[in-house]
Amino acid sequence: MPEETIVIVGASLAGAKAAETLRGEGYGGRVVLIGEEVERPYERPPLSKGFLLGQEPRERTHVHDREWYDHNRVELRLGTAATAVDPSRHRVTLASGEEVGYDRLLLATGASPRRLEVPGARLQGLYYLRTLADAAALREAIAPGGRRVVVAGAGWIGLETAAAARAYGNDVTVIEPEPTPLHAALGPEVGGLFADLHRRHGVILRLDEGVAGFWGAGQVSAVVTSGGAEIPADVVIVGIGVRPNTALAERAGLEVSDGVLVDQSLRTSDPDIFAAGDVAAAYHPLLGRRLRVEHWANALDGGPAAARAMLGREVSYDRVPYFFTDQYELGMELSGVAAPGEYDEVVYRGDVAGLEFMAFWLSGGRVVAGMNVNVWDVAQDVQALIRSGEPVDRARLADPKTPLADLL
């Protein structure tokens, strides 16, 4: 009998952790991990944090050292793009024309930055951040300091890179079409707190304003806003979100809608194909709907969950979405979903002005999301509140003297 094979397309955090779990769970068959980048699997948070700031060496971003793959018999095929999947023949075709057979397949193809399609968008000096190579190039551009940096987009990537640019001593302007930073992620109330944070650190925020184009002779020299203003720029960082890399799944005939559609066990519309990480739009049993989560924790946890499902284990992937950020003196963890329309009110506890507080988003009196800012070892309690689905006493929730566990 030929050896059973599991192929993982996407040498990402999700893909690497899936391979690790397969071996950890005792799978003895062939494991092939295919990645388009030449870099072995790495974690992405340092790209806009420690690595970008020069505080974390390149080697520390990698999920495993090179020897781990050899020791665990994981065939690491780097610099190799998968161009097609044939579900009927159980074959993955590579750019070289080679075909790799599989018994089960995991798609961990991630996402790609959305591109600005405006006049001047092909000028030099525009930076998108997704890969280690992107981060290294951006660090080289902002590390000398004294540059005029314009950031398009006040989402997580935009704000983290703005903070890094300020740390290097650059002048920074952030342009955002929404009324507050992080408006889609946190709503206007907490988004306004991040606006105040960046203004205190000298960042100029141009809100309710988009990017209409760029000026320059080969190299960008100015950003033109939707209001007609011209902002001088030596470096432009574009952080306007990502699109899931679904082309491979679409060509294979899998069900796709803002991601590869998967059930709570991360199985696609084909019973032998699974998807995890940024690319997966998974049915979330706790929330009762599909959700595509682009954060680090989803890759960290989703890869292993998919691996167990591929081994025939019972899997119900219901992790509470989790995210963290570090900007200036602010360290933060966010659990749950806090987008506008998902909540009725925000309740605070602690010292908001002193950046040592918690915020809770409530819907019908129930906690749907919680954020702890410079308050630690509480994320599990926040997630327990979200999981309970029970109404909470608003006054006790706002009282720092009331342990969160007592609210359950």
How do residues 3-60 score in pLDDT, each as one tens digit?
Answer: 899 999 999 999 999 999 999 999 999 999 999 999 999 999 999 999 999 999 999 9
| 354-375 pLDDT, tens digit each | 999 999 999 999 999 999 999 9
Q: Find the mean pLDDT for residues 79-87.
A: 97
Map 226-286 to HEC letters: CCCCEEECCEEEECCCEEECCHHHHHCCCCECCCEEECCCCECCCCCEEECHHHEEEEECC
Please, are residues 39 and 327 in contact by the beta-carbon 8 Å criterion? Answer: no
Query: Sign of dihedral through CA atoms 251, 257, 258, 261?
Result: negative
Cα angle, residue 160 at apex, residues 154 and 163 outer, rounded to 5°: 100
The whole-number pLDDT of residue 3 equals: 87
Q: Find the mean pLDDT for residues 66-81.
A: 97
Tell me how far apart the 2 most distant CA atoms of the chain are, in Å: 69
Phi/psi of residue 286, nearest 5 degrees: -70, -40
Query: Sign of dihedral through CA atoms 338, 343, 349, 350?
Result: positive
Give percent of the chain with pLDDT exceeding 90.
99
The whole-number pLDDT of residue 1 equals: 53
pTM for the whole structure: 0.95
| 232-248 pLDDT, tens digit each | 999 999 999 999 999 99
Q: Are β-strands 171-176 and 204-207 bridged in parallel, bridged antiparallel, or unpaired? A: parallel
Give percent of the chain with pLDDT exceeding 70.
100
The whole-number pLDDT of residue 170 equals: 98
Q: Find the mean pLDDT for residues 86-95.
A: 98
| 320-336 pLDDT, tens digit each | 999 999 999 999 999 99
Residue 130 has pLDDT above 70, yes or no: yes
User: What does the alpha-carbon distance between residue 403 and residue 399 come to, in Å, rounded to a whole number?
Assistant: 9
Please, are residues 393 and 365 in contact by the beta-carbon 8 Å criterion? Answer: no
Average pLDDT, the chain: 97
Look up tokens 């030596």; give the residue: 234
Q: Find the mean pLDDT for residues 338-343.
A: 93
